[in-house]
Amino acid sequence: MFQNKETTPISELGEFGLINHLTQHIKTERDTTITGVGDDASVMKIGNKYCVQSSEIFAENIDFDLTFHPLKHLGYKMVVATISDVLAMNVIPSHLLVNIALSSRFTLEAIEELYAGILIACKEYNLDLVGGDTGSSQSGLVVSMTATGFTKNKESLTYRGGAKSNDLLVSTGDLGGAYMGLQILEREKKIFLEHKEMQPDLEKYDYIVGRQLRPLARLDVVQTLLDLDIVPTSMMDISDGVASEINHMGTAGKVGFNIYEQKLPIDPQTLDVALEFNLNPSIVALNGGDDYELLMTLDQKHFDKIKGNPDLTVIGHVTESAGAYNMVTQADQVFPIEAQGFSDKS
């Protein structure tokens, strides 16, 4: 069908480039559509409420590796990754749809494990699993999930683009752990494939391996914000790394960011293993994905409310220099932050 036309490899655009290209001409027509393509989740007005939806797709050997990812953990993690985008809108997710396509190499018992992990996550995050589709695939496992949440308060919805100059940049939890966990798992996989008699000893890496295999969704933090009567000016979940997320937030809000290196929350295990791999821990914290923490900007007036809260760390602030993303070291040196995942560098 296309043999006589010019062809462009998808790889030339990258994931975000492809999404931007495909969605650039999409227009929404309905007055119930508040937010369409381009934020963590879509927002629809339904009577006197707002419906927030996000959908994700996960493909085997791209988004997960079953040689080291137990299916129960994987099911749990997929739910976390999906609801994380609804949480990033400052909304509590309530309902989940799960679509699964799987090849015949999967046994019923394997799929029961995946489902068990999904149901554990549903219980933990108080989600009702209300439907979906199960079918075959020719090779491997592909899962797609859709999470929905509702709010009556339009003013509490947080978008990517609301950051204002001098707002605080705040991260939940700690950063870079999931990425270093993945490095350990991939190293051990390589060793195992070369020396099958060796059993990997992951115990000393338990924290970071856990961050990779079974991350948590920060529903607790969204609840905390509600309790503290704080509405962030903007928010995203950290799925691709802080450097990538501030790029999205900066572009959408026409602002810049300064991040203070010594403020980056890094777990000691992440730090040790980064050094073991000869990686700069700050670069790991800024570029590692899969943490599913929340990154938000807050008006400075809220500082006293969050001061000392171990879940919320001020890592920088918003500047009026649109598109300028900098890391400031303890010695006051300034380095531009490049928004790139590790996968692009290797």
67 touches its own copies by CB under 8 A: no
What separation, in Å, do the N-terminal and C-terminal C-alpha atoms of the chain show?
Answer: 35
223 touches its own copies by CB under 8 A: no
Residue 139 or 300 having the CB closest to its own copies: 139
Residue 55 or 321 having the CB closest to its own copies: 55
Residue 68 or 325 having the CB closest to its own copies: 68
Near its own copies by CB under 8 A: residue from 94, 224, 251, 326: 94
Judged on CB neighbours under 10 Å (0-12, 13-18, 19+), 66 is middle
Q: Which of residues 278-317 bind its own copies (CB under 8 A)?
A: none
Tokens coding 204:
């000393």
Of 210, 182, 252, which Cα lies nearest the Cα of 38?
252
Residue 37 or 191 having the CB closest to its own copies: 37
206 touches its own copies by CB under 8 A: no
Q: Which span (123-131, 188-196, 269-277, 281-289) binds its own copies, by CB under 8 A?
A: 123-131
Q: Which span (100-108, 251-259, 264-272, 317-325) binds its own copies, by CB under 8 A?
A: 100-108
Tokens coding 195:
């020396």
Binders of its own copies: how many residues, by CB under 8 A? 85
Q: Which span (4-12, 171-179, 214-222, 317-325) binds its own copies, by CB under 8 A?
A: 4-12
Cα 131 to Cα 113: distance, rounded to the nearest angstrom: 18
Near its own copies by CB under 8 A: residue from 22, 198, 275, 334: 22
Tokens coding 345:
């560098």
Of 254, 204, 191, 219, which Cα lies nearest the Cα of 85?
219
Cα 150 to Cα 71: distance, rounded to the nearest angstrom: 30
Tokens coding 278:
């000869």
Q: Which of residues 70-89 bind its own copies (CB under 8 A)?
A: 70-71
- State the nearest-atom distance from the C-beta of 320 to its own copies, in Å: 30
Q: Which span (60-68, 167-175, 192-200, 287-295) binds its own copies, by CB under 8 A?
A: 60-68
3 touches its own copies by CB under 8 A: no
Q: Which span (8-16, 161-169, 197-205, 294-302) binds its own copies, by CB under 8 A?
A: 8-16
Are residues 93 and 138 in contact, defined by beta-carbon separation less than 8 angstroms?
no
Of 321, 325, 322, which Cα lies nearest the Cα of 339?
325
Residue 1 or 193 having the CB closest to its own copies: 1
- State the nearest-atom distance from the C-beta of 123 to its own copies, in Å: 9
- State the nearest-atom distance from the C-beta of 89 to its own copies, in Å: 11
Pairing outcome for strands 42-46 and 33-35: antiparallel
Near its own copies by CB under 8 A: residue from 64, 106, 205, 325: 106
Q: Which of residues 133-162 bind its own copies (CB under 8 A)?
A: 133-140, 142, 144, 146, 148, 150, 152
90 touches its own copies by CB under 8 A: no
Q: What is the dihedral of CA 210, 173, 280, 335, to 10 degrees?
A: 150
- 335: alpha, beta or left? (left if phi > 0; alpha if psi -120 to 50): beta
Residue 152 or 345 having the CB closest to its own copies: 152
Binding to its own copies by CB under 8 A, coded x per residue (else -) over 35-54, reads xxx-x-xx-x-xxxx-x-xx
Residues 6+ apart with CB under 8 A from 224: 309, 311, 312
- State the nearest-atom distance from the C-beta of 67 to its own copies, in Å: 11
SS3 of residue 271 by DSSP: helix
Cα 265 to Cα 171: distance, rounded to the nearest angstrom: 8
Q: What is the dihedral of CA 213, 210, 54, 38, to 10 degrees?
A: -100
Q: At what angle do helices 71-87 and 219-227 cross, to 10 degrees?
A: 30
Q: Which span (95-103, 156-164, 240-248, 302-310) binds its own copies, by CB under 8 A?
A: 95-103
